[in-house]
Amino acid sequence: MIENSDESGAKDGAGEIYRVAGPVVTAIGLKPRMYDVVFVGEESLMGEVIGLVREKTIIQVYEDTTGVKPGEEVVDTGKPLVLELGPGLLSSIYDGIQRPLPVLREKMGDYVERGVTAPGLDREKSWNFVPSIQEGDQINGGAIIGTVQESEHMEHRILAPTDAEGTVQSIKEGGYGVEDVVCTLDNGKNLKMMQTWPVRVPRPYKEKLMPEIPLITGQRVLDTFFPLAKGGTAAIPGGFGTGKTVTQHQLSKWSDAKIVVYVGCGERGNEMTEVLTEFPELEDPWTGAPLMQRTILIANTSNMPVAAREASVYTGVTIAEYFRDMGYHVSLMADSTSRWAEAMREISSRLEEMPGEEGYPAYLSARLSEFYERAGRVTALSGSEGSVSIIGAVSPPGGDFSEPITQGTLRIVKVFWALDTKLRERRHFPAINWLTSYSLYLSTLEDWFTKEVAPDFLRLRGWAMAVLQKEAELQEIVQLVGSDALPEEQRLTLEVARMLREIILQQNAYHKVDTYSDIKRQYILLQSIKKFSDLATRLIPLGISVEVIAGLNSKLLLSKVKYEEKFDEELDRALNKMEDEFKNLEAST
């Protein structure tokens, strides 16, 4: 209860609304700190302090402010926006400020009413806690004190708060709620299964490690040509309909990260509905259980309050860091950072700040950096190794990559998967342009590819990229004079490049076999195309035309191998056929 503090009737930690401008409310009579959470108006709408100007407090409200008027009360909680971290996070669907949407739906139906809240973690559920330490053990902040089996295949490791330090006085196995004390230290500190953490503060770790291990996605164009390291950062920019969301769905399902955090930040309601209905139905290919058992969804659609959209990416990355600290590899999908930046632009204009390029705030690049720099492969305080890989979709208006968000993102991330509208029109999926995309992790990942795949893997990749670049140069000549005017060697280059595009770069996300390609299969397919190219190159000087070579049955067999369940058998058949056909051609000369 808040008591009166002076004759005017103002309360301790309470003030009143002075001005309302959309989601930005100005209050007087408060003395808060930056980023304190406040409750605004008669309906106690949640907001966050984003500016202090003399006696005025500027607040961004996470809910619709329709009907809120000057003179209504504003109460300061004295605390920043914090998340509840503990058992029950996996399989959850939250909004941008960690309100569980299924719980809110039970309370009020399909439409979220204002001022309604619910705790992020279920207070009623009991979890079987199994200690990892015993009485008398010395522990430090971030240590793993026990485990909870959160789902059939997922173990939730209970972490001590980062400020905990002392000798264990009591700890025992049993069924506990998230707020129950499971461990007591000799200094009187009680440890619970749940802890809280401010969303804007990165969680600490012992050491940041080099990005030397790739995040294997099973997507050929990504793993072979533009790999992402665990703990790395990637951007997927592309115009409407180029496949950003489908690509992120593929990464969520097939990448070898243990935990997936999917942030739907300001996307259209129908796209988010697709995610919310599809993800619970998807089967985890590694365990056979529902994919949702290792997924957290944060849904913040374009018609939801703009301020909560700004908070949703911080909510997502804080949850990802929490699982990283347990020793898990986490992939965070942010779809899309453009909508997040648009939320910043709207709030900035309400604050009457000086606009930067295209009206975005001058601190746009700083905020983007702040977000992406929370990625990394680290040694956690517990001594475990974990990582957070951030993959951010960007939605440039009209597919214009020169706009500020795409350019600001490219200055920060090290992998650029450029989606191309022209490839989409040609029905080439994933529509990732191999000439404009890049990965800056190739040098640090070289040792891994050499040891785990093949010593010549990166050399083969370099050969394939050279062929594709040569094709792009030749296409300009072809458009002027036609392919028939080219010498046979260059026509062969065009044919090999076509094989690379159709066999390696194209991949069917909806085909039960082709949806995922093992990294060693990717290498074998690339090696097979190189072998075809080498054999064909030997025949060109003997007078064999490219038309004859392109019409070989082995080439057709090779193009179908990626769809075959019996991959190895079919590939051997195609390669044997290839050798026989080339021997026959050579003998015929």
Class of domain 14-80 as given by CATH: mainly beta
- Consecutive 10-residue averages of pLDDT for the chain (589 residues): 35 82 93 93 92 93 91 94 95 90 80 81 95 95 95 92 94 95 94 95 96 96 97 92 85 91 80 72 77 88 75 94 97 90 89 90 94 97 96 88 93 95 92 96 96 96 97 90 88 96 95 94 97 95 92 94 95 96 90
Residue 34 in tokens? 């930056």
Q: For the chain, where do the domains classified as CATH 2.40.50.100 start and end? A: 122-193
**CATH code of the domain occupying 209-442:** 3.40.50.300
DSSP H or E run through 349: helix 337-350
Q: For the chain, where do the domains classified as CATH 2.40.30.20 start and end? A: 14-80
CB 414 within 8 A of CB 389: no
Pairing between strand 45-53 and 174-176? unpaired
Burial state string for 525-555 with b = 16 or more CB within 10 A and e = fewer than 16:
bbebbbebbebbeebbeeebebeebbebebb
* Cβ burial, residue 188 (10 Å; 0-12/13-18/19+): exposed
Residue 569 in tokens? 């058998």
Q: For the chain, where do the domains classified as CATH 3.40.50.300 start and end? A: 209-442
CB 156 within 8 A of CB 87: yes
Q: Check if CATH label 1.10.150.120 holds for domain 457-588.
A: no
pLDDT for res 394: 92
pLDDT for res 12: 53
CB 514 within 8 A of CB 562: yes
Measured CA to CA in angstroms, residue 498 lies from 23, 329, 473, 559 at distances of 52, 36, 14, 11
pLDDT for res 3: 34
* Cβ burial, residue 573 (10 Å; 0-12/13-18/19+): middle
Class of domain 122-193 as given by CATH: mainly beta
Instruction: Pick the closest to residue 393 from 314, 335, 339, 340 (CA basis).
Output: 335
pLDDT for res 531: 97
pLDDT for res 2: 33
Dihedral sign from CA coordinates of 294, 246, 234, 264: negative
pLDDT for res 290: 81
- The total number of residues written for the chain in this structure: 589
